[in-house]
């Protein structure tokens, strides 16, 4: 799929990695629906940045854990942009949950947006794409921790492992009209509350000896969308080599 002229929905696109992904797809000519839940002002700034690149942008609000809101969002994107050709499931939460104090509420607060939300978006967008003659492409943002869990973030790691399994299952369920792949970033944006010594340790354990950037993730997303039409069910690590370290 060539992105130019096609309509793509990016969840969690108001800021951070989602914003960079949305802008990268816009640079390639995509018309972008910028999803947000609470960051309305930031979403409008992202949309303005996209329009400055010479392409169309709209903002859409939804709580991705609510199926009625996801269905309304997908229908709204189709109504306003005329189609839905691509979906990037980027929205997620990330917070520390030490095993000694982790609760069922922590589990729900993580799994609901990180996995249930991705599932709902894929179901509603995927069905729309199957109805289109041109099909569509879905890219999910997973995490290398979904393949190699790390300590202190058990619900998060499980949620991303679920995204990986969901990606591969949907790649079979939605074939041949819809391709479904995932990007599995490694250390890209270091949490603001991470101690400096721990951040250095992560970098030292990464074979490329540096942290990645949101632009690295965005480039991988763009490749999975338009680089090859013969890739589905792929989990693409963008991790500086952490998985082989």
What's the CATH code of the domain at 14? 3.40.50.720
Q: Is residue 211 part of a domain?
A: yes
Q: Could you report the per-residue pLDDT of 166-207, keeping only the tens digit for each?
A: 999 999 999 999 999 999 999 888 776 778 888 888 889 899
Q: Is residue 2 part of a domain?
A: no
Q: Does pLDDT of 120 surpass 80?
A: yes
Among the listed residues 60, 62, 164, 149, the one whose alpha carbon sits nearest the alpha carbon of residue 119: 164
Number of structural domains found in the chain: 1
Q: Which domain holds residue 142?
A: 7-244
Edge-to-edge strand order for the sheet containing 7-10?
A: 57-61, 31-36, 7-10, 86-89, 136-141, 178-185, 235-238
Residue 35 Cα distances to 42, 158, 241, angstroms: 10, 24, 31
Quote the tokens at residue 177. 């009209």
Query: What letters, b where the CB count within 10 A reaches 16 and e where it falls short, cover 13-44?
Result: bbeebbbbbbbbbbebebbbbbbbbebeebbe
At 225, the pLDDT band (50, 70, 90 cuts) reads very high
At 90, the pLDDT band (50, 70, 90 cuts) reads very high
Quote the tokens at residue 90. 């980027």
Q: Is residue 150 part of a domain?
A: yes
Q: What is the pLDDT of residue 148?
A: 95
Question: Taking the CB of residue 93, how many other CB atoms lie within 10 A of it?
Answer: 15
Q: Is residue 142 part of a domain?
A: yes
Average predicted confidence (pLDDT) for the chain: 96
The span from the CA of 235 to the CA of 146, in Å, is: 11
Q: Is residue 54 part of a domain?
A: yes
DSSP annotation of 116 reads: I
Active site residues: 156
Q: Is residue 96 part of a domain?
A: yes
Q: Is residue 1 part of a domain?
A: no
Q: Is residue 224 part of a domain?
A: yes
């Amino acid at each position: 799929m060539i992105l130019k002229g096609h309509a793509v929905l990016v969840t969690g696109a108001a800021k951070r990695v989602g914003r960079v992904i949305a802008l990268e797809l816009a640079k390639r000519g995509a018309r972008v629906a910028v999803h947000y839940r609470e960051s309305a002002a930031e979403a409008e700034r992202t949309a303005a940045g996209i329009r400055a690149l010479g392409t169309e942008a709209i903002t859409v609000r939804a709580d991705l854990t609510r199926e009625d809101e996801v269905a309304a969002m997908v229908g709204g994107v189709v109504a306003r942009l005329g189609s839905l050709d691509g979906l990037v499931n980027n929205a997620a939460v990330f917070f520390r949950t030490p095993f000694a104090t982790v609760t069922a509420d922590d589990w729900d607060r993580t799994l609901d947006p990180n996995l249930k939300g991705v599932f709902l978006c894929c179901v509603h967008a995927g069905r729309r794409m199957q109805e289109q003659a041109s099909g569509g492409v879905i890219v999910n943002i997973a995490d290398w921790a979904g393949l190699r869990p790390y300590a202190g973030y058990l619900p998060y790691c499980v949620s991303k492992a679920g995204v990986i399994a969901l990606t591969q299952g949907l790649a079979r369920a939605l074939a041949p009209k819809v391709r479904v792949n995932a990007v599995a970033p490694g250390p890209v944006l270091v949490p603001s509350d991470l101690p400096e010594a721990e951040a250095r340790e992560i970098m030292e354990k990464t074979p490329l000896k540096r942290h990645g950037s949101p632009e690295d993730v965005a480039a991988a997303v763009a490749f999975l969308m338009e680089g090859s039409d013969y890739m589905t069910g792929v989990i693409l690590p963008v991790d500086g080599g952490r998985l082989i370290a």
